[in-house]
Amino acid sequence: VSTNTRVDLDEKIMNHPCYSEEAHHYFARMHVAVAPACNIQCNYCNRMYDCANESRPGVVSEVLKPEEAIKKSLVVAGEIPQLSVIGIAGPGDPLANPEKTLATFKGIREQASDLRLCLSTNGLKLMDYIDEIQALDIEHVTVTINAVDPEIGKDIYSWIYYNGKRYKGLEAAEILIKQQLAGLEALTERGILCKVNSVLIPGVNDLHLKEVSKVVKEKGAFLHNIMPIIVAEDTEFARRGIREPLAEELNELRSSCSGDMKMMKHCRQCRADAVGLLGEDRSEEFTKKHLETMTSRY
């Protein structure tokens, strides 16, 4: 690694509240919720709420048009000087809404070039947008990978919708996992910093996540974030009686994986329209209604 690349990498980590535990005390992020549709069905998601791959189910974010999201980014950057990152993480999957997601990133890139861009996706369509992600200088990408073995994946996903066709069961899991890992590898080859989120689902993938950690590290992931499932009502996992993990189970699993790679321990399972430092939620201050009265100043 050359000195320049090293400095560059340190910078990318140090200014991002999710990639550095230290940075999360000083740097804020904002999510713009521009992506309502999704192309897969996770068994912990009931579609009424934010994407549970990155967010807290049970929260309904305010969906914005790209132009509204760009304006919001400029306003919030003016109001919150610690703002360093704009992320798109839902409420569905950003790459299942490619026009909206890319138009938003493009506008922010052009009008607020000092903000870093961050994308969180289920990874199904990553390979189709690698060039765009690189061209827009999106420095951080999260891929949610809950299994690397389709036999386990088939119990986590009911279906995927891929290139005009719906797939179910083992076949769906095979395609999804293949695309996720190929996407992860392609991104890291291009120097894009990748984090992998995994939802810990007791009795389904708890014994498998160590293997996931190992594989995603091999594919170049920089950070692994194991998040506890939040069992939302009206989901397949609620019907199957899946329980939420205990704090000790989560901690134990994280430490058993940490030999393989850097583990994230400060994730707050943010909403898809979260604003502010990781521990605070200022989304209410910056709703569409409130923004209208603020935009005249920007």
Q: Which residues here bind ligand SF4, judged by CB under 6 A?
A: 38, 40-42, 45, 51-53, 92-93, 122
Using CB distances below 5 to 8 A depending on partner kind, what does residue 40 bind out of ligand SF4, ligand CLF, none? ligand SF4
| Comparison of 195 and 208: residue with beta carbon closer to ligand CLF | 195
Contact criterion met (CB below 8 Å) for 84 and 17: yes
How many residues bind ligand CLF, per CB under 6 A? 18
Rule CB under 6 A: which of 193-222 touch ligand CLF?
A: 195
| Burial degree of 42 (CB within 10 A; 0-12, 13-18, 19+) | buried
Give the binding range for ligand CLF (CB under 6 A) out of 75-83, 180-188, 245-253, 265-273: 265-273
**270 touches ligand CLF by CB under 6 A:** yes
Backbone angles phi and psi of 119, in degrees to 5: -125, 140
Query: Whole-number minimum distance, CB 78 to ligand SF4, in Å?
Result: 31
> What is the pattern of x (binds ligand CLF, CB under 6 A) and - over residues 223-262?
--x-------------------------------------
Using CB distances below 5 to 8 A depending on partner kind, what does residue 18 bind out of ligand CLF, ligand SF4, none? ligand CLF
Using CB distances below 5 to 8 A depending on partner kind, what does residue 175 bind out of ligand CLF, ligand SF4, none? none
Contact criterion met (CB below 8 Å) for 232 and 58: yes
Query: Whole-number minimum distance, CB 130 to ligand CLF, in Å?
Result: 18
Query: Whole-number minimum distance, CB 287 to ligand CLF, in Å?
Result: 19
Query: Whole-number minimum distance, CB 17 to ligand CLF, in Å?
Result: 7
Tell me the residue length of the chain: 298
Query: Whole-number minimum distance, CB 156 to ligand SF4, in Å?
Result: 9
> What is the pattern of x (binds ligand CLF, CB under 6 A) and - over residues 27-66?
--x-x----------------------x------------
Give the binding range for ligand CLF (CB under 6 A) out of 41-49, 84-92, 175-183, 241-249: 84-92
CA dihedral of residues 176, 178, 181, 182 (deg, nearest 10): -120
Among residues 109, 210, 268, 282, which is the contact residue for ligand CLF, using CB under 6 A? 268
- Which residues here bind ligand CLF, judged by CB under 6 A? 18, 29, 31, 54, 85, 87, 89, 118, 120, 140, 142, 195, 225, 267-270, 278
